[in-house]
């Protein structure tokens, strides 16, 4: 293939990817999430299929698809009927209401695209590009095209529009405290991108020109202001020098109850007394990477939406569903009633080995219970568990960091019998 054709193919592929990304945001009033809408559209296009087949087509894990289908069924958007051949299976099909929702979303996207094309044509007519010229010469950074962005330049650190980002290191004024503004703060390009893909929709961003260039495609057409400023002004606003160069602020959203969270989940993490934000963030990152469907907080746990927890989780605290137990530890009985086998992590020598316990629970719904470093799980939580589980240790070590212990349990749970766990996708390039 000639170089010019290869470049054209690459540019076209990039354009299609960017367009698809922007179309995801075209109907913010939709009652369903992006993953739910994608599954609905697949059923509308391809017809009825089993949950397993739908999971394969959508490239998600079966437990995640089970949860999506359960939510859609509750809203009356899909129907479930017995499989005509295999009585153990069900067929999922889009309902009339679901089909109408898919059509409405398509119309909204098409209307947005038509307006963008008209706008682009008018802009091209006003500003034809000179032939043979480039906006940026060798070694020069191309200026960010902000036509589709809401960029607002700020040079005053006392500008009241930046108040949601102010004093991030203060003890009593920081905006991410639940007792204060209760905002969710995303820090860094990757975490901001994950916030944009989550249920936490940002209402403002603060960052440098360089980070704006990196986020341009993610923000194009998204109705959120980007306050562009210098690293110096940012440091004066937030109270310290911010290496990552960009922040996003979002408001908290209602949290589901424990029973609601368990619908469709097969593996959950249950935390008690995990009050260190870095450990909490690491557990969310481990849960996302190792197939845990949800996290449940017992008593004494830190806030998962604290800025440090969100940062250490690499944004996964915004994506992995979680709920807070309101009656602890009695609410562990709810998990048992829902068919979960409760595996309590403990250093006790009499406990069952991790590999053995996970093998025995292979066909069950599983809840992995972990406690605070040092004291571990309380006696009350241990009494309500089904199996006490330990990680075999050597060299006189009695226990591991709670996030590390949880990661080993999650990995053992996700590993196929007699084999190695296959990676679900590429890593994020971060080592911790």
Task: State the Cα–Cα distance between residues 341 and 44, nearest whole angstrom.
Answer: 36
Residue 119 within a domain: no
Is residue 402 located within the same domain as residue 307?
A: yes
Of the given ranges (131-145, 233-247, 321-335), which has the lowest mean pLDDT? 131-145
371-397 average pLDDT score? 91
Q: What is the mean pLDDT of the chain?
A: 84
Strand duo 90-94 + 78-82: pairing: antiparallel
Q: In the structure encoding, which two tokens stand for residue 364, read together? A: 């069950």
Q: What pLDDT score does 185 carry?
A: 95
CA distances (Å), 21 to each of 74, 102, 145, in order? 27, 17, 17
- Other C-beta atoms lying within 10 Å of the C-beta of residue 180: 12
The yes-or-no verdict on residue 131 having pLDDT over 50 is no
Q: What is the CATH number of the domain that holds 224?
A: 3.30.1330.30
Residue 377 within a domain: yes
Is residue 273 located within the same domain as residue 205?
A: no
Residue finishing a domain among 202, 221, 251: 251
Residue 124 within a domain: no
Q: Which helix (H) or strand (E) holds 267?
A: strand 267-272
Instruction: Give the pLDDT band of residue 332 (cuts 50, 70, 90).
Output: very high
Instruction: Give the pLDDT band of residue 56 (cuts 50, 70, 90).
Output: confident
Is residue 157 located within the same domain as residue 279?
A: no
356-368: per-residue pLDDT in tens?
999 999 889 999 9
Is residue 320 located within the same domain as residue 206?
A: no
The yes-or-no verdict on residue 264 having pLDDT over 70 is yes
Residue 137 within a domain: no
Q: What pLDDT score does 180 carry?
A: 72
Q: What pLDDT score does 38 carry?
A: 83
Q: What is the CATH number of the domain that holds 61?
A: 1.10.10.10
Task: State the Cα–Cα distance between residues 205 and 165, nearest whole angstrom.
Answer: 9
Of the given ranges (189-203, 229-243, 415-429), which has the lowest mean pLDDT? 415-429
Q: What pLDDT score does 137 carry?
A: 44
The yes-or-no verdict on residue 425 having pLDDT over 50 is no
Is residue 332 located within the same domain as residue 280?
A: yes
Q: What pLDDT score does 174 carry?
A: 72
The yes-or-no verdict on residue 140 having pLDDT over 50 is no
Which is it for the CA torsion 358, 364, 367, 369, positive or negative? negative
81-130: per-residue pLDDT in tens?
988 887 788 899 999 998 998 888 888 777 777 776 776 666 566 555 54
Domain span at residue 81 reads 3-99
The yes-or-no verdict on residue 58 having pLDDT over 80 is no
Residue 38 within a domain: yes
Residue finishing a domain among 56, 76, 99: 99
* Cα-Cα end-to-end distance for the chain: 41
371 contact partners, CB below 8 Å, separation of at least 6 = 271, 272, 273, 274, 345, 346, 377, 378, 381, 402
Q: What pLDDT score does 12 carry?
A: 61
274-303 average pLDDT score? 96
Q: Number of folded domains in the chain?
A: 3
242-266 average pLDDT score? 91
The yes-or-no verdict on residue 67 having pLDDT over 50 is yes
Is residue 291 located within the same domain as residue 346?
A: yes
Is residue 236 located within the same domain as residue 331?
A: no
- Is residue 410 within 8 A of residue 287, CB to CB? The reply is yes
Residue 430 within a domain: no
Single pTM value for the model: 0.67
Residue finishing a domain among 99, 132, 166: 99
Is residue 367 located within the same domain as residue 228?
A: no
Residue 58 within a domain: yes
Is residue 276 located within the same domain as residue 409?
A: yes
The yes-or-no verdict on residue 414 having pLDDT over 80 is yes
206 contact partners, CB below 8 Å, separation of at least 6 = 154, 162, 165, 226, 227, 229, 234, 237, 246, 247, 249
∠ CA 217-222-227 to the nearest 5 degrees? 85
145-174 average pLDDT score? 84
Q: What is the CA radius of gyration of the chain?
A: 24
Is residue 239 located within the same domain as residue 304?
A: no
10-22 average pLDDT score? 53
Is residue 206 located within the same domain as residue 336?
A: no
Task: State the Cα–Cα distance between residues 2 and 23, nearest whole angstrom.
Answer: 32
The single-letter DSSP state of residue 366 is E
Alpha carbon 3 to its chain's center: 38
272-286 average pLDDT score? 97
More confident residue, 174 or 349: 349
Is residue 225 located within the same domain as residue 282?
A: no
The yes-or-no verdict on residue 133 having pLDDT over 50 is no
Q: What pLDDT score does 309 carry?
A: 96
Residue 125 within a domain: no
Task: State the Cα–Cα distance between residues 392 and 349, nearest whole angstrom.
Answer: 9
Q: What is the CATH number of the domain that holds 323?
A: 3.40.1280.10
Q: What pLDDT score does 188 carry?
A: 96
More confident residue, 136 or 377: 377
């Amino acid at each position: 293939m000639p170089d010019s054709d290869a470049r054209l193919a690459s540019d076209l592929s990039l354009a299609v990817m960017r367009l698809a990304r922007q179309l995801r945001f075209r109907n913010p009033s939709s009652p369903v999430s992006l993953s739910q809408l994608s599954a609905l559209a697949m059923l509308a296009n391809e017809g009825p299929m089993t949950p397993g087949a739908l999971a394969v087509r959508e490239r998600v894990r079966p437990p995640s698809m089970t949860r999506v289908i359960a939510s859609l069924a509750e809203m009356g958007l899909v129907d479930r009927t017995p499989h005509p051949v295999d009585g153990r299976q069900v067929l999922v099909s889009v309902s009339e209401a679901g089909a109408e929702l898919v059509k409405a979303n398509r119309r909204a996207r098409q209307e947005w695209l038509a307006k963008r094309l008209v706008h682009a044509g008018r802009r091209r007519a006003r500003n034809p590009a000179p032939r043979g010229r480039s906006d940026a010469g060798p070694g020069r950074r191309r200026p960010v095209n902000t036509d589709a962005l809401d960029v607002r330049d700020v040079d005053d650190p006392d500008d009241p529009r930046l108040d949601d980002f102010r004093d991030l290191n203060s003890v009593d004024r920081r905006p991410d405290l639940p007792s204060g503004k209760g905002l969710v703060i995303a820090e860094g390009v990757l975490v901001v991108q994950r916030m944009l893909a989550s249920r936490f929709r940002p209402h403002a961003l603060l960052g440098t020109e360089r980070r704006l260039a990196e986020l341009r495609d993610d923000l194009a057409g998204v109705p959120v202001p980007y306050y562009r400023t210098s690293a110096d002004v940012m440091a004066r606003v937030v109270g310290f020098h911010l290496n990552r160069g960009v922040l996003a602020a979002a408001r908290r959203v209602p949290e589901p109850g424990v029973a609601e969270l368990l619908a469709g989940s097969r593996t959950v993490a249950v935390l008690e007394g995990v009050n260190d934000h870095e450990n909490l963030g690491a557990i969310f990152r481990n849960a996302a990477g190792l197939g845990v469907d949800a996290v449940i907080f017992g008593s004494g746990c830190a806030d998962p939406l604290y800025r440090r927890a969100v940062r250490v989780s690499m944004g996964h605290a915004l994506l992995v569903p979680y709920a807070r137990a309101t009656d602890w530890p009695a609410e562990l009985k709810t998990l048992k009633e829902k068919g979960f086998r409760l595996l309590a992590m403990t250093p006790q020598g009499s406990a069952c080995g991790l590999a053995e316990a996970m093998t025995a629970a292979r066909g069950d719904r599983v809840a992995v219970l972990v406690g605070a470093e040092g004291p571990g799980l309380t006696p009350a939580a241990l009494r309500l568990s089904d199996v006490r589980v330990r990680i075999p240790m050597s060299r006189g070590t009695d226990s591991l960091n709670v996030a590390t212990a949880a990661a080993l349990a999650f990995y053992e749970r996700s590993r196929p019998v007699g084999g190695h766990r296959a990676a679900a996708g590429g890593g994020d390039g971060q080592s911790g």
